[in-house]
A and B are shown apart, each in its own frame.
Chain A
């Protein structure tokens, strides 16, 4: 190694070190810490004494009915994202792309706007809209003619995910619309013109040309939707009131939060909470790999 090379190496480290130190301490180290924590009985109530307990925290989790309930709700959130936000966003993008509406800039801005608002603010707003005798209930009263009608979906554990799913679509559809629109604009327009000349209708253009060409974008969106849905905390947290209602609508991140930061008397709270967090990460990676695999199976040439 020449002197110049050695100098250059020092320069390299000079540029990389400040960022890497922060990154390794705050992002990389906690990954191992979290794995370690989940395998111990770390007890914050007795000064942090701990023993290795193997996978017993995970075993507790798999027996915990709250875990399965939260997982089920998470799957609903994923379904709403993958089967609601993405297709609707795609169709909206297609309408804009084919210039079927005027004032597209305005419409695009309106669908995309909720994306920029704080999810907490949106959650509190929709919580207010969906209260038993709030604005939505008032609309129901006006249309049904029954002055005593109330909006009770938020109060019942079997229906609470419906208004939440609605709010999820309201917020995130615009995001997928913008992504699809950006990728649609990359498509060669000659292809579509040629199809039109051959007599293809708009729905045919959509299903026969556009969808196959955007298979890659659909996959990326699905992955974003899965990852986002699994870690999503803010919306459901702010749309529900602590206690029974939040427990009804509980998803895994909220389950983790309540376990680790609100269940003060539980000596296993951090260890158990870490087991839940790690499970969320593992599930999301598994689902991402799975959707990748599915898309490879569906399109033989693979997705680039």
Chain B
């Protein structure tokens, strides 16, 4: 070892230790900064509105510790939402409303089937109160479960999450599939067929799309697609996603396919396979890495996209999850607890996928960003 390195080693340890400490502080701090807000969101989504106003940091209690909750008998009025179909099930109900969770707002309401109740409860008049513990045990369990998930069931049904969830899956999944399919077809043509100049034109024209985003042409898109009646439709929204997915698919796809040996294609076509068969059976299976990268970037981008659906979707039937969550949270009647539950519902699928596949997802994003 030469003397210089000895000098280096001698003054290094203290500096290195300080460097290590700072490094750990930075990363632990950052990890906490990521986790704590999400953790707060998670547990707060299980709190009632009253609890959230009382103490913003306390752990949830009201909705769980519900065995002794007090309820008041009420009459049905316009803003009570029935949880049963009175035509299918005409049995008489005693309607009760919580006196502690959103009292008087007809949000925390149960419909007790009168014939299943003990006589002292059947005898209750409107305005009388009862405790959950007085009810038969199966009703206690049912009410306890409904109370615990109050925010989630309310958010899910009142924000129409089922439709929005399916729409988001359709937009992200359907558009990504077609981006890959048509995008790889174009990539195949420009990289494997012997038309240099035509290929350059196609690549150049589609490449311009890199400089643009949906946001930059949203006004003409809105006017055009309104003209042909496609704005508030799944097809119209997906067409835009597909078109804006092509630049990246074509760039990454053609780059990758150029690296595949042409002999593969030649031997296949000599054996009598059509070009489409050769593309589908031989080239496509070999492009899996690009397909994964493009799917991750497109799928994730579309899943989280906001402005297009905000502008195009005028009815609830075409809204996606982000737009649904946004408009739900800006309604004045929405309880804070429901808003938080809606945020959790929108977050869980993505976080789950991320935790399962964080390595592949990270690689995909890097590949897309660096080459783009």
Question: A and B bound?
Answer: yes
Contact across chains for A109 and B8 when beta carbons are under 8 A apart? no
A-B contact count (CB 8 A): 260
Contact across chains for A8 and B311 when beta carbons are under 8 A apart? no
A-side interface mostly: helix
- Asked if B101 is an interface residue, CB under 8 A from chain A, the answer is no
- Asked if A9 is an interface residue, CB under 8 A from chain B, the answer is yes
User: In the complex, which residues of chain B have a beta carbon less than 8 angstroms from the beta carbon of A11?
Assistant: 189, 193, 275
- List residues 220-257 of chain A with CB under 8 A from any CB of chain B: 220, 224, 227, 231, 233-234, 237-238, 241-242, 253, 256-257
Contact across chains for B5 and A199 when beta carbons are under 8 A apart? yes
CA distance A115 to B212 in the complex (A): 21
Contact across chains for B223 and A33 when beta carbons are under 8 A apart? yes
- The smallest C-beta distance from A151 to any residue of chain B, in angstroms, reads 12
Contact across chains for B34 and A9 when beta carbons are under 8 A apart? no
Contact across chains for A117 and B350 when beta carbons are under 8 A apart? yes
- Chain A residue with minimal CB distance to B8? A199
Name which of B13-21, B91-99, B284-292 contacts chain A: B13-21
Q: Count the A residues whose beta carbon is within 8 Å of the partner chain — how many? A: 89
- Asked if A208 is an interface residue, CB under 8 A from chain B, the answer is no
Contact across chains for B223 and A270 when beta carbons are under 8 A apart? yes
- Asked if B282 is an interface residue, CB under 8 A from chain A, the answer is no
Name which of B80-88, B109-117, B202-210 contacts chain A: B202-210
User: In the complex, which residues of chain B have a beta carbon less than 8 angstroms from the beta carbon of A121?
Assistant: 322, 325, 343, 346-347
Contact (A27, B212) CB under 8 Å given A16-B202, A20-B186, A197-B4: yes
- The smallest C-beta distance from A21 to any residue of chain B, in angstroms, reads 10
Other-chain contact of B220, A37, A109, A126 (Cβ < 8 Å): A37
Contact with A along B29-58 (1 / 0, CB 8 A): 011011101101100000000000000110
Contact with A along B290-309 (1 / 0, CB 8 A): 00000000001001101100
- Asked if A116 is an interface residue, CB under 8 A from chain B, the answer is yes
- Asked if A101 is an interface residue, CB under 8 A from chain B, the answer is yes
CA distance A112 to B304 in the complex (A): 16
Other-chain contact of A119, B239, B304, B353 (Cβ < 8 Å): B304
User: In the complex, which residues of chain B have a beta carbon less than 8 angstroms from the beta carbon of A285?
Assistant: 211
Determine which residue in A9, A11, A128, A182 has the highest number of CB atoms from chain B within 10 A of its CB, and name it: A128
Other-chain contact of B186, A19, A138, A196 (Cβ < 8 Å): A19
- The smallest C-beta distance from B285 to any residue of chain A, in angstroms, reads 17
B-side interface mostly: helix
- Chain B residue with minimal CB distance to A195? B8
CA distance A238 to B304 in the complex (A): 13
Contact (A16, B8) CB under 8 Å given A110-B35, A281-B216: no
- Chain A residue with minimal CB distance to B344? A121
- Chain A residue with minimal CB distance to B350? A116
- Asked if A168 is an interface residue, CB under 8 A from chain B, the answer is no
Contact across chains for B365 and A178 when beta carbons are under 8 A apart? yes
Contact across chains for A19 and B300 when beta carbons are under 8 A apart? no
Determine which residue in A92, A118, A138, A273 has the highest number of CB atoms from chain B within 10 A of its CB, and name it: A118
- Asked if A298 is an interface residue, CB under 8 A from chain B, the answer is no
Contact across chains for B224 and A33 when beta carbons are under 8 A apart? yes
Contact with A along B202-241 (1 / 0, CB 8 A): 1001101101110111111111100000000000000110
- Asked if B354 is an interface residue, CB under 8 A from chain A, the answer is yes
- Asked if A143 is an interface residue, CB under 8 A from chain B, the answer is no
- Asked if B24 is an interface residue, CB under 8 A from chain A, the answer is yes
Contact (A22, B239) CB under 8 Å given A31-B212, A118-B303, A121-B347: yes
- Asked if B341 is an interface residue, CB under 8 A from chain A, the answer is no
Contact (A135, B57) CB under 8 Å given A22-B243, A233-B215, A260-B219: yes
Other-chain contact of A15, B26, B186, B215, B354 (Cβ < 8 Å): B186
Other-chain contact of A18, B20, B185, B193 (Cβ < 8 Å): B185
- List residues 24-40 of chain A with CB under 8 A from any CB of chain B: 24-31, 33-34, 37
Other-chain contact of B31, A33, A100, A107, A277 (Cβ < 8 Å): A107
- The smallest C-beta distance from B237 to any residue of chain A, in angstroms, reads 11
- The smallest C-beta distance from B369 to any residue of chain A, in angstroms, reads 6
- Asked if B251 is an interface residue, CB under 8 A from chain A, the answer is no
Contact with A along B345-371 (1 / 0, CB 8 A): 011001101110010011001100110
CA distance A220 to B190 in the complex (A): 26
- Asked if B321 is an interface residue, CB under 8 A from chain A, the answer is yes
- Asked if A67 is an interface residue, CB under 8 A from chain B, the answer is no
* Chain A contact residues, CB within 8 Å of chain B: 8-9, 11-12, 14-16, 18-20, 22-31, 33-34, 37, 44, 91-92, 95, 100-101, 106-121, 124-126, 128-129, 133-135, 138, 170, 175, 178-179, 182-183, 196-202, 220, 224, 227, 231, 233-234, 237-238, 241-242, 253, 256-257, 260-261, 270, 273-274, 277, 280-281, 285
Among all A-B residue pairs, the 10 with the closest Cβ atoms: A26-B243, A199-B8, A15-B189, A33-B220, A19-B182, A30-B220, A30-B217, A110-B31, A100-B23, A120-B322
Contacts beyond the supplied A28-B208, A120-B326, A234-B304: 12 A-B pairs with Cβ under 8 Å: A26-B221, A30-B220, A109-B355, A110-B34, A118-B304, A118-B321, A118-B325, A118-B347, A196-B8, A238-B306, A281-B211, A281-B212
